[in-house]
């Protein structure tokens, strides 16, 4: 099944010719496993850090999802109840999602990186009725369970752990189940946005949102699927990038996905996985790409078959795109979207030139413009807030859980505002400038941190970087760069001056970082985005202490 075909039409024609056909009744499970219930090809290649391996076919996933749906009903879960899933990339994660969709529950994916306070907030705010998790997190949740009045059951999936066991429950359950014929607008997923400020908000996504992701998925993966395609991502299946940009669409197209349960990201192990399973398509966030970039002699060392890489979450930039072309012979397709309205804009190097630094163009079925405060598209070359047209787009979320005001604050007429600032060029390409609260205002100039970060990454001594505006009495703000040095590099005043000169000479004199601070790591959200707001808060606190 494909929504688009690489049939000779250019990007603009594909966009102009496309229209959505959304059925009134639609359930994610119908498209991901029910349609493939007799397919005995591999759906999931599963491997653990310790070397354990197991392959699951589509037929097995269908049968196990049916069993889990029956288990949920037997445990008193009804349609609309929230079922929390606190698991990494492992088969139980996929089964838990699919079974929940089948019986009409709302899946609540939560990252295994969350500590007790983060879990408590989300479980309490969502009113989750049941949690499926591993033994360590089950023990953590037991400690806070008294503060979670809606939480009735904790199911753990480690076989040798005490309590209600996932696999034992499945063993006793029937594998016959008829998927609930949900409305396309019925809720399927509750995903808490990581955000850069304020408490997390639960974005409620309908079943139809999966369909809305597919045009972008197909094109960002250079017309997925093709014969022998195998997908992989290091992104946690608990967040939008891992779940809706990788796991679920791979199942839709009946192509296998590699699941690796191995803890902290290891770039060399990642390349070994891609070699072993002959991965052809991947979603790799920029942070992971920068770590992989530290591995030498990749083409000579690894037998890779990658034909398409999508990257999102942070600006990809010219340096990474050039590196990807050189090392993988792949033009990395940058993509832009948010949990609330995902997979809206991006590149497709198969049929369009990739302009390094550009987000690309709105994918078929989506309409995105930089708009002004009145909700009107700005002129070509002018900056505005990137916003997506709401009407007729199935990818749009239903709202924020118990927070209608927050949704209304994002709406401007028929546009849903992103909080990202961007511009459109004369050829229709969109360019990211920065978050509304990340744009640096210095001596009358509006400066986007992404462009400076991209420039700094070209320096051999820089592994990772984040740029913020530091409050300054004379200029309003000055540019400050936080740099994680490359392996073996020793920070020094001389190196700081050299790095500053890199920006001054390669980019612009008014954009160079007047301050450089070397750090061992950058603060990140659970979805892999740099928390620039935390860096700014640190600087403000230091200035307050000094005063």
| Beta bridge pairs of residue 442 | 445
Spatial separation of the C-alpha atoms in residues 540 and 546, rounded to whole Å = 10
Cβ(291)–Cβ(267) below 8 Å: yes
Res. 123: pLDDT tops 50: yes
* Assigned domain for 85 exists: yes
172 versus 527: which is more confidently predicted?
172
Q: Among 187-196, 284-293, 416-425, 515-524, which is the least confidently predicted range?
A: 187-196
Spatial separation of the C-alpha atoms in residues 495 and 510, rounded to whole Å = 20
Res. 260: pLDDT tops 80: yes
Res. 437: pLDDT tops 80: no
pLDDT class of 547 with cuts at 50, 70, 90:
low
* Assigned domain for 247 exists: no
pLDDT (0 to 100) of residue 195: 46
**The 202-206 sheet, strands edge to edge:** 153-156, 130-133, 82-86, 106-109, 187-192, 202-206, 399-400
Q: Among 6-15, 342-351, 499-508, which is the least confidently predicted range?
A: 499-508
Mean pLDDT of 450-461: 87
pLDDT (0 to 100) of residue 264: 85
Nearest to 179 by CA among 35, 40, 74: 35
Beta strands in 172-287, from DSSP E residues, in sequence order: 187-192, 202-206, 231-232, 257-261, 281-283
Helix (H, G, I), strand (E, B) or coil at 472: strand
Res. 382: pLDDT tops 50: yes
Q: At which of 158, 183, 207 does a domain end?
A: 207
Spatial separation of the C-alpha atoms in residues 406 and 419, rounded to whole Å = 13
pLDDT (0 to 100) of residue 540: 86
Which CATH number do you get for residue 188? Answer: 3.40.50.12780
- 290's tokens: 């920068």
**What's the mean pLDDT when you consider all of the chain?**
92
pLDDT (0 to 100) of residue 197: 43
Q: Among 121-125, 347-351, 454-458, which is the least confidently predicted range?
A: 454-458
Res. 544: pLDDT tops 90: no
As for how many domains the chain has, the answer is 2
pLDDT (0 to 100) of residue 543: 79
pLDDT (0 to 100) of residue 225: 97
Res. 395: pLDDT tops 80: yes
Q: Among 150-159, 460-469, 534-543, which is the least confidently predicted range?
A: 534-543
Res. 150: pLDDT tops 80: yes
Cβ(431)–Cβ(337) below 8 Å: no
Res. 194: pLDDT tops 70: no
| Beta bridge pairs of residue 8 | none
% of the chain with per-residue pLDDT over 90: 78
Which CATH number do you get for residue 510? Answer: 3.30.300.30
Cβ(111)–Cβ(238) below 8 Å: yes
Res. 160: pLDDT tops 80: no
Nearest to 92 by CA among 173, 40, 157, 43: 157
Spatial separation of the C-alpha atoms in residues 239 and 528, rounded to whole Å = 10
Spatial separation of the C-alpha atoms in residues 290 and 295, rounded to whole Å = 10
Backbone angles phi, psi at 183, to 5 degrees: -70, 150
Res. 410: pLDDT tops 70: yes
Res. 449: pLDDT tops 90: no
Range of 492's domain? Answer: 439-546
Task: Count Cβ atoms below 10 Å from residue 338 Cβ, excluding itself.
Answer: 20
pLDDT (0 to 100) of residue 200: 81
Spatial separation of the C-alpha atoms in residues 453 and 328, rounded to whole Å = 23
pLDDT (0 to 100) of residue 196: 40
* Assigned domain for 203 exists: yes
Task: Count Cβ atoms below 10 Å from residue 329 Cβ, excluding itself.
Answer: 11
* Assigned domain for 453 exists: yes
pLDDT (0 to 100) of residue 161: 63
Count of residues for the chain? 547
Res. 374: pLDDT tops 50: yes
Helix (H, G, I), strand (E, B) or coil at 399: strand
pLDDT (0 to 100) of residue 458: 86
pLDDT (0 to 100) of residue 447: 80
* Assigned domain for 319 exists: no
Nearest to 258 by CA among 327, 297, 305: 305
Backbone angles phi, psi at 250, to 5 degrees: -60, -40
Q: Among 58-62, 280-284, 348-352, 455-459, which is the least confidently predicted range?
A: 455-459
Q: At which of 158, 177, 207 does a domain end?
A: 207
* Assigned domain for 408 exists: no
| Beta bridge pairs of residue 422 | 384, 432
pLDDT class of 352 with cuts at 50, 70, 90:
very high
Nearest to 63 by CA among 18, 30, 95, 25: 95
**Cα-Cα-Cα-Cα dihedral of 481, 484, 488, 489, to 10°?**
10
Q: At which of 154, 189, 207 does a domain end?
A: 207
* Assigned domain for 127 exists: yes
* Assigned domain for 122 exists: yes
User: Which DSSP letter does residue 380 get?
Assistant: T
Nearest to 81 by CA among 208, 176, 187: 187
Spatial separation of the C-alpha atoms in residues 99 and 122, rounded to whole Å = 21
pLDDT class of 258 with cuts at 50, 70, 90:
very high
Res. 154: pLDDT tops 70: yes
pLDDT (0 to 100) of residue 220: 98
Cβ(69)–Cβ(102) below 8 Å: yes
């Amino acid at each position: 099944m494909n929504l688009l075909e690489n049939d000779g039409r250019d990007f603009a024609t594909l966009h102009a010719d496309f229209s959505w056909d959304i059925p009134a009744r639609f359930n994610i499970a119908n498209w991901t496993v029910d349609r493939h219930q007799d397919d005995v090809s591999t759906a999931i290649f599963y491997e653990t850090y310790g070397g354990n391996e197991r392959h699951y076919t589509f037929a097995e996933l269908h049968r196990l999802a049916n069993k889990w749906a029956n288990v949920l009903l037997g445990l008193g879960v009804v349609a609309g109840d929230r079922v929390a899933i606190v698991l990494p990339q492992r088969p139980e994660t996929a089964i838990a999602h699919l079974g929940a969709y089948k019986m009409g529950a709302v899946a609540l994916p939560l990252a295994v990186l969350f500590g007790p306070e983060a879990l408590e907030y989300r479980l309490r705010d969502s009113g989750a009725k049941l949690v499926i998790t591993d033994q360590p997190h089950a023990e953590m949740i037991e400690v806070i369970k008294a503060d979670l009045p809606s939480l009735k059951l904790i199911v753990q999936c480690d076989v040798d752990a005490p309590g209600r066991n996932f696999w034992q429950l499945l063993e006793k359950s029937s594998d016959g189940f008829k998927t609930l014929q949900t409305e396309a607008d019925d809720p399927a997923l509750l995903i808490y946005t990581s955000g850069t400020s304020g408490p997390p908000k639960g974005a409620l996504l309908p079943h139809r949102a999966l369909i809305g992701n597919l045009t972008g998925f197909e094109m960002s993966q250079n017309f997925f699927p093709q014969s022998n395609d195998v997908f992989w991502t290091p992104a946690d299946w608990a967040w939008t990038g891992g779940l809706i940009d990788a796991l679920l669409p791979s199942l839709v197209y009946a192509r296998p996905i590699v699941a690796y349960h191995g803890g902290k990201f290891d770039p060399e192990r990642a390349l070994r996985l891609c070699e072993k399973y002959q991965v052809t398509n991947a979603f790799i966030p920029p942070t992971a790409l920068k770590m992989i970039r530290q591995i030498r002699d990749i083409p000579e060392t690894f037998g890779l078959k990658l034909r398409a890489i999508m990257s999102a979450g942070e600006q990809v930039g010219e340096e990474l795109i050039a590196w990807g072309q050189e090392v993988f012979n792949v033009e990395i397709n940058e993509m832009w979207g948010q949990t609330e309205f995902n997979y809206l804009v991006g590149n497709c190097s198969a049929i369009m030139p990739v302009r390094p630094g550009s987000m690309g163009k709105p994918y078929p079925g989506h309409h995105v413009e930089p708009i002004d405060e009145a909700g009107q598209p700005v002129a070509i070359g002018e900056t505005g807030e990137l916003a997506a047209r709401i009407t007729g787009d199935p990818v749009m979320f239903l709202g924020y859980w118990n927070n209608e005001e927050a949704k209304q604050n994002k709406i401007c007429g028929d546009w849903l505002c992103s909080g990202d600032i961007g511009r459109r060029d004369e050829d229709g390409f969109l360019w990211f400038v920065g978050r509304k609260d990340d744009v640096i205002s210095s001596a009358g100039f509006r400066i986007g941190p992404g462009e400076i970060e991209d420039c700094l990454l070209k320096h051999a001594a820089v592994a990772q970087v984040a740029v913020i505006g530091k409050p300054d009495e004379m200029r309003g703000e000055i540019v400050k760069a936080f740099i994680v040095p490359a392996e073996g590099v020793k920070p020094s005043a001389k190196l700081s001056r050299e790095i500053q000169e890199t920006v001054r000479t390669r980019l612009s004199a008014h954009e160079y970082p007047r301050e450089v601070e070397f750090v061992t790591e950058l603060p990140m959200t659970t979805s892999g985005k740099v928390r620039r707001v935390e860096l700014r808060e640190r600087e403000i606190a230091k200035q307050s202490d000094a005063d």
